Structure formats: structure tokens, C-alpha cells
Structure 1
Amino acid sequence: MPDTDSIPKGQPPVWRAALFGLCPECGAKTLFDGPVQFQPTCRACGLDYSRYNVGDGPAAFLTLIIGALLVAIALTLDAAVQPPLWVHVILWVPLTAAAVVYGLRVAKGALLASEHQRQAAEGRQLDKPND
């Protein structure tokens, strides 16, 4: 992982871009258009976000990890306090939705910022010399 000293001026580190939805080029807070949808381009510097292929890879892993953690916490709460079922519904449904959405924002922002800093691009086939 590169040091923050090697990042050009104006570019935030990956963790900061991911947590706050910052443009990986200029640091403006323009990465997201909706809860987890990227803007087409940065309104401040014009960086084209659509050229990065982040995809929905983090979605499955985050949903499983967050689901496992929240189920473990819910079972612990149920064993300790034994609240009625409606308390579980009121507590865990919005908490799960919020955790998944925020987790997706952070994961997708981190992937996009990493791709930008490492100048990742689609793979290309090299031309073979004629024999």
C-alpha cells in the first residue's frame, strides 16, 4: 500500500476517500449520487467515474458479514434480556439496512479510489510479432 507521502497533492488517501465519499483525484465530496450509486463524473474536476469497474462484488460479502455479526448480536441480546419479537423487528431491520448501505458506500469508494491511485484499467491483449 502506498504511503500518503507518495500521493499527489489534492488526492486523498484511499481510506479517507472511502469513508467520506471524496473524489480520488481532487478530494471534493462528489463521489456518490445516491446512497450507493456513483456520480457519472466529478463536478469539481471532471474525473470520469464510469471508467472504473467497481461492480457489485462487495455486496455479497458485506451482506453476509454484516448479517452474521448482527445475528450474533441479536441472539446475544435475546439470551440476555429476552425482549418481545417486535423489539427485535424495530431494532434490527433498520440497523441492518443502514449497516449494509454504509458498508457498500465505503467498500465501493475504497475500490474506486484504489483503482484510480493504481491507474487500473481493462486488460489488453498485446499484439504478437509476426514470425
Structure 2
Amino acid sequence: MSASRRRPGTGTSSTWSGCSCSCPSTGGEPDALTRTRYPRVSPLAAALKCRCPRCGEGRLYKGFLSVSDRCEVCGLALARGDSGDGPAVFLTFILGFTVVPVALWVAMSVDWPLWLHAVVWTVVILGLALGMLRPAKAYLMALQFRHRASEYDIPETPESRADPRN
């Protein structure tokens, strides 16, 4: 069947968003997974509280950066989300862009010994990086859930229960 003869909302002739991978062309509807039972949670709000991206209530982490297997409130398979190295890379760029000019300005303004600069800026950068890493990872996971919620709700198989990364 040619693209011009397909019924609206299917295949490459979808006009819902002009994309063949839009929700009507793939058989679903926008936010079908999140709209059914749970209120829409802001990714930023969920990230700042380090809470579940679907319900906004369950704890996201079981350790410092270890993601919980499931949300204790809504049962979302949190272990399926993967932020990779994104949070560390973003924080490296953000902290480098903001802290280095301040460090240069302080170095030009005051006459500290070199060892003091090394100690102060190491503590500042480590403190900021470790303090911002959890919310940054939570934000990327919340954005991943917002835009690809179907990856979190794949039905479990015996193999996926053994390895939460599947």
C-alpha cells in the first residue's frame, strides 16, 4: 500500500507531528503511560527532590548514586533508566565554565600562596560536583522517562529480573 493510500495516523503519512515515529503512527497516544493514573511530574521538581519521575513521591536512590530497583510508591522499574556519563560530563563543563573564572579572579585579587589555591579550589570543585551529581543524574533520568517512558514499562521476563539492565 502506498503512503498516500494509508489511513491517517499510520505509517509515514502521519500528520500528527509530521514524523513517522509520532504516537498516532506507532499506535499509541501521547503520554498514554503517564496520563492514565499519575499526575504529570516536572522533571526539575523530581530531580531536585531526587524522587521517582512518574509519581514524584518514591525515592530514586538507595545509596549515594545507586538507583533503586523499583519505586516503592508506584512500582516503576527505575533500574531500567540509564543516565550513563551524562551528569558527570555536564557538571564538568558547567563547573569548569563557572569556577575557573572565579578562581582566576581570586588569584589576581589576593596574594595567596599557591598551595592555598590548590586546597581551596579542590575543595570547592569537589564539594560542588558531589553536591550536584545526584540532582543532575535524577534530572537526566526524569527527562528520559518524560520522553521515552515506554523503556521503563517493558514487561518483565525471567532474564530481565536476573539482570536489571535489560
- Alignment TM-score, normalising by the size of structure 2: 0.59
% identity of equivalent residues: 34
1:60 corresponds to which of 82, 85, 89 = 89
| Rg larger in structure | 2
Superposed CA deviations along residues 24-45 of structure 1, whole A, max 9, x for unmatched, are 1222251122333322222233
Superposed CA deviations along residues 73-113 of structure 1, whole A, max 9, x for unmatched, are 11111101122234323322222112212332222211211
Distance 1:34 1:99 in 2: 19
Bigger shift: residues 92-101 or 31-40: 31-40
1:49 aligned residue: 78
**Letter paired with 1:17:** A
Contact kept, 8 Å, 1:12 with 1:22, in 2: the verdict is: no
- Alignment TM-score, normalising by the size of structure 1: 0.72
Matched, 1:113 2:142: yes
Distance 2:98 2:58 in 1: 30
Q: Using CA pairs under 8 Å that are at least 6 residues apart, name the structure with larger relative contact order, 1 or 2.
A: 1
Give 5+ residue unaligned stretches, structure 1.
1-5, 123-131
2:52 aligned residue: 23
Question: Structure 1's 57 and 78: CA in aligned 2 closer, same or farther, altered over 3 A?
Answer: same
1:94 aligned residue: 123
Contact kept, 8 Å, 1:20 with 1:29, in 2: the verdict is: no
The 4+ residue runs of structure 1 with deviation greater than 4 A are 8-11
Give 5+ residue unaligned stretches, structure 2.
1-34, 153-166
The CA RMSD measured in Å over matched residues stands at: 2.7
Aligned length: 118
